[in-house]
């Protein structure tokens, strides 16, 4: 029997289609609506990544938090059946409270192995990212609407009996909010996958917070270097200031890997066509396929049904990269120090490169830097 009672969000004039807010417009099982927060200190000691998502057409809500501290990655994940109140952003030990939309959030975990109580406050207005669309053959596999933001974070993180104070001026926060259609486990393969094999994927997603400006860069390229997503936008004085051209990246990888150690992103000021260089120094890294539930994780991925009230806790040793072979085939978030036009900033250098990528000289999935 179908439960068609109104849900709390139906009380508000926010409907886009003549359906309850319990439902999305389409029946694609890959429909999603989620967020991710990054909290990083400026020395590279710690990188906390946390997120929460709902998957309305499979009836799942889940959340996770990972903390990179030294060579140890602490991970907690939770999943449950999706309830009726979409404004209650809570599952397992995790809760996100929107105290002021687009401005201030309270992020909490009361898990005994990884706990935190943080206030995340925006320093700059939210910025739309380019509309993101991907197809495999004739099938739409990803269509997402996204915005990004940067700010400061204050509060405390508790792990292994230690308390880590998080304070203004010494920590930076970034966040991404997205919704639409995105593959979750269980997607069919068969003929579609066989006739449209993946050749290569190259990705850079880079929100940077400076004292008086925010810079967002996103680049996605196919195996031959053809760019399918591109933006470099500067936000200053409370509004979108200007776009900084067509970013070109020179990335230095650790020998024998595709793990970046530093990079230079070449930008252009449109006012005088002056070249600008964004320097990137990697401080601390967290592969999203370990603990955070992003593909190709083989222990848990977002949107999968694990039953009611599921919580999982793990500690991973990242000292030996060979112990985590799948990590190199997923995206990694790098806490980084950035330099631009004499200023120093902090943020995330998210990078993934797998398969062939002609501009980088990578010839296949087993190709690495010399």
Question: Which residues does 169 contact at the CB level (< 8 Å), separation at least 6?
Answer: 152
- As a whole number, mean pLDDT of residues 111-115 equals 97
Summarised one tens digit per residue, pLDDT across range 267-282 is 999 999 999 999 999 9
Q: Look up residue 96 and give its two tokens.
A: 């996100």
Summarised one tens digit per residue, pLDDT across range 247-274 is 999 999 999 999 999 999 999 999 999 9
Given this model, what pLDDT does residue 186 score? Answer: 77
Summarised one tens digit per residue, pLDDT across range 21-53 is 999 998 899 999 999 999 999 999 999 999 999
Given this model, what pLDDT does residue 44 score? Answer: 96
Kindly compute the dihedral angle of the four CA atoms of residues 136, 141, 147, 149, in this order, to the nearest 10 degrees: -80
What backbone torsions phi and psi does residue 98 show, to the nearest 5 degrees? Answer: -85, 100
pTM greater than the 0.85 cutoff: yes
Q: Give the bridge partners for 242, in sequence order.
A: 234
- CA 61/CA 80 separation, integer angstroms: 6
pLDDT of 366 higher than 60: yes
Tell me the pLDDT band of 1, cut-offs 50, 70 and 90.
very low
CA 93 vs. chain centroid, Å, equals 20
Tell me the pLDDT band of 139, cut-offs 50, 70 and 90.
confident
Domain ranges of the chain: 31-183+190-360
DSSP state of 131: P
Whether domain 31-183+190-360 has CATH 3.40.50.360: the reply is no
Tell me the pLDDT band of 2, cut-offs 50, 70 and 90.
low
């Amino acid at each position: 029997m179908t439960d068609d009672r109104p849900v709390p969000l139906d009380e508000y004039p926010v409907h886009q289609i003549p359906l309850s807010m319990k439902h999305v417009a389409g029946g694609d099982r890959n429909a999603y609506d989620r967020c991710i927060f990054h909290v990083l200190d400026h020395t590279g000691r710690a990188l906390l990544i946390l997120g929460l998502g709902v998957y309305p057409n499979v009836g799942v809500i889940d959340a996770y938090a990972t903390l990179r501290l030294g060579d140890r990655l602490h991970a907690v994940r939770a999943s449950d059946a999706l309830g009726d109140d979409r404004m209650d952003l809570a599952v397992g030990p995790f809760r996100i409270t929107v105290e002021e939309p687009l401005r201030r959030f309270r992020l909490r975990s009361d898990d005994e192995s990884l706990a935190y109580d943080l206030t995340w406050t925006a320093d700059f207005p939210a910025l739309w990212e380019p509309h993101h669309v991907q197809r495999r053959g004739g099938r739409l596999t990803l269509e997402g609407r996204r915005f990004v933001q940067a700010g400061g974070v204050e509060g405390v993180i508790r792990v292994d009996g230690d308390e880590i104070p998080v304070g203004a001026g010494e920590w930076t926060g970034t966040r991404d909010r997205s919704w639409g259609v995105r593959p979750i486990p269980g997607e069919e393969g068969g003929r579609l996958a066989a006739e449209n094999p993946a050749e290569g994927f190259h990705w850079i997603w880079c929100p940077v917070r400076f004292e008086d400006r925010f810079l967002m860069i996103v680049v996605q390229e196919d195996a031959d270097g053809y760019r399918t997503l591109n933006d470099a936008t500067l936000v200053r004085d409370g509004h979108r200031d200007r776009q900084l051209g067509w970013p070109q990246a020179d990335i230095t990888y650790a020998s024998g890997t595709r793990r970046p150690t530093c990079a230079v992103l070449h930008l252009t000021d449109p006012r005088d066509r002056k070249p600008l260089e964004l320097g990137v120094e990697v401080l601390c890294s967290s592969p999203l396929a370990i603990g955070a539930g992003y593909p190709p994780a083989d222990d848990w991925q977002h949107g999968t049904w694990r039953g009611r009230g599921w919580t999982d806790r793990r500690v991973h040793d990242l000292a030996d990269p060979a112990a985590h072979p799948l990590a190199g085939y997923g995206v990694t978030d790098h806490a980084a120090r950035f330099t631009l036009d004499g200023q120093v900033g902090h943020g995330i250098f998210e990078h993934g490169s797998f398969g062939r990528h002609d501009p980088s000289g990578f010839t296949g999935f087993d190709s690495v830097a010399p």
